[in-house]
Amino acid sequence: MKFARKVWKLLVGVKDAMALLFLLMFFGLIYAALTARPMAGRVEDGALLLNLDGSIVEEKSESNPLALLSGQAPTREFEARDIERALRLAAGDDRVKAVVIDMSRFLGGRYTHLHDIGEAIDEVRKSGKPVLAFANVYADDATLLAAHASEVWVDPMGSAFVTGPGGNYLFYKGLLDRFKVNAHVYRVGTYKSFVEPYIRTGFSPEAKKDLEGTYGALWDAYRADIAKARPKARLDEMTRDPAAFLKASGGDLAQVAKASGLVDRIGDKTEFDARITKLVGEDTSGSTRGSGKDEIPYAHTSLATWLAANPVKAQGAAIGVITIAGDIVDGDAGPGEAGGDRIARLLDDNIDEGMKALVVRIDSPGGSVMASERIRRAIWRYRERKIPVVVSMANYAASGGYWVSTPGQRVFAEPGTITGSIGVFAVVTSFEKTLADYGVTSDGVRTTPLSGQPDLFGGFTPEVEGLLQGSVENAYRQFLQVVGKARSKTPEQVDGIAQGRVWPGMEAQKIGLVDEIGNLDTALAYAAKVGGVGNGKWHAEYLKDRESSLSAVLNEMLGDTQSDQAAYDFASLISIRQHQQAQQIMARIDALTGTRGMQAYCLECAVEPEAAPRAKASGDWSIMQMLARLTGWK
């Protein structure tokens, strides 16, 4: 036995030593990866290749290592301003003979970003350089981007179609009633439609009217963009009666796309690559691999290499830019989400850095009232320091997104911007009726009407109901006062254009919620002017946390990772949209059951063709999981 124990101790010692050795090797590799500085690739004389295998966003979210551990690669994201800058640089660089936009795995973007990128593509074409686009299937967002190209290619088995903004929302009142879940809704705003799916079986007339106005404005802007880029496109004819248009074109989806004027040439990827090779020459660098897995035969430079070779030059005075993108939430969330504490800290940490002005870039549908006010106060501290504050609205700056815009001395929006939605709500669920069906009841003793309240399982007292509604009404009054002070209006005047109603950019300018129509570049130039830069040089300095080394390495790793959400035909595109809709449904359910306070959030901000949602949890959601979340059994 003694001998056996000694052998066992020896084996355990060997095992521990090997485990320690492997751990040291593992952490050594991690350290090497984190400290390594990847060398920028060489710019080739040939094509600038924009391989858009992901979604276009205002601000990239930080890579989550847990997503890789779960076996699911995060969706790639491209910041819109990076693509715009790359295109404008390409227009004036003789090394770039053509621009190639590969949207085989494009997961979408929102209208304002695509509109601005389209204008950058126009600059490339004005410089005399061809821009060629390829995809298997073009949906609304890809069609809008490709419309600006000089040659648009589609696979012979592919298609191009435009559905237009709009569609149905799910309403949960019947489901909640069936499971006897009590949704307590407290709101101010006739048009504050975010809560209607929980208390109605369909939209109220006021909310539907608001949606129709928003849809109409976006559709008009979209059609105008297509008509300007492709005057001969038969978009109206195609969308008015798609079945008849398909029949008249012989039933071949690719031929329909060409007949509509949205596509110029039909050919597969091999034929497309051959066309590019003819224009720019063969790849002679010895490296024929692009940002994806397919071999690329033509001389090219990838987007990442191009940006690395052309870093932003920090010359002259600094114009600070703080980005408020995504849902506004309490805490340190982000980037990709607008964590109130994180953004306020960024603003406070940089207030003494000598910036001539601050531009607040907003692309948010709103969120937490408390976080919105925390951000607003941090921005206002710049005004107190006599630093000019200018606001630039992207796709949306609604509800809490408008709240944080109020310190701006000048507010810029784009024609496709959705703003306003000035209203407040809170939603809390209780399950006293659900539990009663299973024989569970409650009883107790209160010293005050608020003792033990709010009771999610025993029900709410009238006093707590009144308290919650009163707190929402008070927050709304504060919202009106903040907006009134910013826009030189009385609270009563603001209330007349508030009540949760949303406004497209041009309409918002007419009613005084916005000062001027213009993009981010326009806002930056104005900020430099009011900041006293004069004719001197200046640069935009984006206020952001230093990217963690691990996140940087993950982003490098993801650079060669292709999304498995590629649309190879019409049916696969439908499958992708179905997956996205399921994630959106879960986001709505989380809004109902999540532990949140008062919200200033905009439902209408989801009316545009949706980019891939940023799911907070990996994996698919089943109907049973949705029901479980709704009924509180998590």
518 half-sphere exposure, CB direction, 13 A CA radius: 16
* Residue 152: pLDDT band with limits 50, 70, 90: very high
Cβ neighbours of residue 519 closer than 8 Å, sequence gap 6 or more: 116, 392, 412, 414
Per-residue tokens: 357: 């002005």
> In this predicted structure, what is the pLDDT of residue 515?
96
Q: What is the domain partition of the chain in residue ranges?
A: 46-162+230-309, 317-543
Query: Does 18 or 613 have the greater pLDDT score?
Result: 18
CA dihedral 379, 382, 387, 388 (to 10 degrees): 20
* Tens-place pLDDT, residues 334-389: 898 999 999 999 999 999 999 999 999 999 999 999 999 999 999 999 999 999 99
Q: Looking at the domain that runs over 317-543, which CATH code has it been given?
A: 3.90.226.10
Helix (H, G, I), strand (E, B) or coil at 217: helix
Chain centroid offset of residue 214 CA: 18
What's the CA gap between 542 and 530, in Å, rounded? 18
* Residue 547: pLDDT band with limits 50, 70, 90: low
> In this predicted structure, what is the pLDDT of residue 403?
96
Please check whether the two domains, 46-162+230-309 and 317-543, share a CATH topology. yes
Q: If you ran DSSP here, which 8-state letter would residue 545 be given? A: P
- What amino acid positions are annotated as catalytic residues? 192, 399
> In this predicted structure, what is the pLDDT of residue 434?
85
Judge contact between 362 and 398, C-beta under 8 A.
no
Question: In 10 A of CB 224, how many CB atoms?
Answer: 12
Judge contact between 165 and 220, C-beta under 8 A.
no
* Tens-place pLDDT, residues 51-93: 999 999 999 987 655 555 555 556 789 999 999 999 999 999 9
Query: Does 13 or 468 have the greater pLDDT score?
Result: 468
Angle between helices 2-35 and 549-558 (to 10 degrees): 80
* Residue 612: pLDDT band with limits 50, 70, 90: very low
* Tens-place pLDDT, residues 481-523: 999 999 999 999 999 999 889 999 999 999 999 999 999 999 9
What's the CA gap between 159 and 255, in Å, rounded? 8
What's the CA gap between 209 and 441, in Å, rounded? 43
Per-residue tokens: 197: 């799916």
Averaged over 149-155, what is the pLDDT? 97
* Tens-place pLDDT, residues 208-250: 888 888 889 999 999 999 999 999 999 999 999 988 888 887 8
CATH superfamily of 46-162+230-309: 2-enoyl-CoA Hydratase; Chain A, domain 1 (3.90.226.10)
Closest by Cα among 368, 437, 170, 621 to 629: 621
Per-residue tokens: 129: 């350089």
Per-residue tokens: 128: 């005399």
Output b/e per residue, 466-497; b: 16+ Cβ within 10 A.
Answer: ebbbebbeebbeebbebbbebbebebebbbeb
What's the CA gap between 20 and 26, in Å, rounded? 10
Is the pLDDT at 614 greater than 70? The verdict is no
Query: Does 424 or 625 have the greater pLDDT score?
Result: 424
Helix (H, G, I), strand (E, B) or coil at 408: coil
Is the pLDDT at 560 greater than 60? The verdict is no
Averaged over 250-268, what is the pLDDT? 92
Q: Say if strands 265-266 and 516-517 run parallel, antiparallel, or are unpaired.
A: unpaired
Cα distances from 172 to residues 177, 186, 205, 365, 629, in angstroms, run 9, 17, 18, 21, 12
> In this predicted structure, what is the pLDDT of residue 14?
67
* Residue 615: pLDDT band with limits 50, 70, 90: very low
Amino acid at 613: P
Percent of the chain with pLDDT over 90: 52
**What are the residues facing 329 on neighbouring strands?**
339
Residue with tokens 């975010």: 194
